[in-house]
Amino acid sequence: MEGEIRDFRTSEVLNLKDSERNKIYYGFLYNYSSPNTRRAYLKELKKFYGFLKFRMQGISEFEVGHAHLVAYKDELISLGGERAKKLSQNTINRSFACLFAFYEYLLDQGLVTVNPVQRIRRFKVPKEGKTVDLSNEQVEKLLDIISTESASGKLHRAILTLLFTTGMRQSELANLKFKNLDYENEFLVLRYIAKGAKEMVTPLNSRAIDAIGTYLKWCSESGFSMDMDDFIFRPTTNPTSGDLNKRLDGSSMNYMIKKYAELIGIKGNVTVHSARSTVIGMLLEKGHSIDRVADFVGHKDIATTKAYNKRKQRIHQSLSFEL
């Protein structure tokens, strides 16, 4: 990422040298601990700079006003007639969310006097359908239906078992490397940095150990590189380039969980996020404290944990019986 930022060149404006400008972008992007967020924001900033350079006669990002941003919004809506497929309103809203954060940073640094994105109206988009939360019985059926006869089955079983026994986020699981596997007090654990730079140490239960062990045995027998900096979960096939030494993408994980959910008759918006929601619901339903569950899944605010719980409290668990 440093290399990408270093290559982010703009013309000298307002007597700022390239190195000084790069420091500004570096400072903004590295406020965010997530590599995915940094990549996404860098992409948006490059796109915005291209608009200023080619559509706005190369004005500086430090000179941008409300009218320029309205023009940029119109550009995103129409894409200048250059492509048939238009951007979704959600995508355009995300672009302006990035720019809003960027100008808030410039405002804090004293490089602009107002945030010009403040007055840009965002699209009101309908919320997507709620993520499906699986029952305990459905989780059992889903994991049991995965055959480990094939290489892909071993991979799928390992990933979905980890998701339903750790509550990890999709990006956290995708970024796991062999160096994240460790032992603590004779327990196999995953050490990783979660969202919000929270350090996590998550023990693996016997079911997870069995599933990941079967997959890693296959990796070893198949000659997969298993160095400390290699990603644990990688494609088992790659018809395009043949390169298997790369991180598995999120769409593949969503395909897996949806595939097996459909096989056991679950319909609706089943995604990787469904597993996280299910884990939280299961633990709360079993009577574990909200604080303990929040800590387990890496939530800093217990209000977030409460929002995930879609299961109704059982009558026999009512606090009425504590009085």
Enter the tokens of residue 122: 């965002």
Higher pLDDT pick, 38 / 140: 140
Could you state, in order of their start, the residue ranges of all structural domains in the chain? 2-108, 136-313
| Side chain identity at residue 290, one-letter code | I
201 DSSP β-pair partners: 191
Q: What is the pLDDT of residues 161-220, one digit of tens each?
A: 999 999 999 999 999 999 999 999 989 999 999 887 889 999 999 999 999 999 999 999
Q: What is the pLDDT of residues 211-259, one digit of tens each?
A: 999 999 999 998 888 999 999 998 876 645 556 677 888 788 999 999 9
**What is the pLDDT at residue 179?**
96
Banded pLDDT at 265 (limits 50, 70, 90): very high
Share of the chain above pLDDT 70, in %: 83
Best mean pLDDT range from 40-54, 230-244, 298-312: 40-54
**Residue 266: strand, helix, or coil:** coil
Phi, psi of 64 (to 5 degrees): -65, 135
Banded pLDDT at 64 (limits 50, 70, 90): very high
Higher pLDDT pick, 110 / 126: 110
**Are 51 and 61 a contacting pair, CB within 8 Å?**
no
Mean pLDDT computed over every residue of the chain: 84
Report CA-CA distances (Å) from 205 to 191, 235, 292. Answer: 15, 24, 17
Higher pLDDT pick, 316 / 166: 166
**What is the pLDDT at residue 250?**
79
**What is the pLDDT at residue 5?**
45
- The pTM for the full model equals 0.62
For residue 151, with 0-12 CB atoms within 10 Å meaning exposed, 13-18 middle and 19 or more buried, which class applies? Answer: middle
**What is the pLDDT at residue 320?**
57
β pairing state of 187-194 and 198-203:
antiparallel
Neighbour tally for 298: CB within 10 Å: 23
The class of domain 136-313 in CATH terms is mainly alpha
Banded pLDDT at 10 (limits 50, 70, 90): very low
Banded pLDDT at 2 (limits 50, 70, 90): very low
**Are 210 and 221 a contacting pair, CB within 8 Å?**
no
Type and span of the H or E element at 26: helix 18-29
Q: What is the pLDDT of residues 121-164, one digit of tens each?
A: 888 865 554 678 899 999 999 999 999 999 999 999 999 999 99
